[in-house]
Amino acid sequence: MFDESIRPQIKEYRNRADGQIYSIDGPLDVIRQAIEVIKGLSLGIFTADNILNTASNFVNGVNNFNKKNRQDQGRVKGIDPTQFEPWLDEFM
């Protein structure tokens, strides 16, 4: 986002056509420096494997919760569809 949106604004500001002198430590420089620090601190924290594992754990947790919830609701009525149709267990 920084490279696509903010960096062009900084370049445009530096190349002002109105004769104003570009000053270092202007508002855009402060923003740029802050974002560069954040960017540097966040690099390497989230690898592709970390993201995939986190997403998979989340989805598996939701699936397990929903499976247990459906089973509990079926038991309230005395129905366990997996009892006579074992293939449903994996599906559910």
At position 86, the amino acid (one-letter code) is P
Decide: 10 and 32 in contact? Cβ < 8 Å: yes
pTM: 0.39
pLDDT tens digits, residue range 12-23?
766 666 666 555
Q: 19 in the Ramachandran plot: left (φ > 0), alpha (ψ -120 to 50) or beta? A: left
28 closest CA partner among 2, 65, 67, 49: 2
Which stretches of the chain drop beneath a pLDDT of 70? 1-2, 13-27, 44, 76-79, 92
The 8-class DSSP code of residue 20 comes to: P
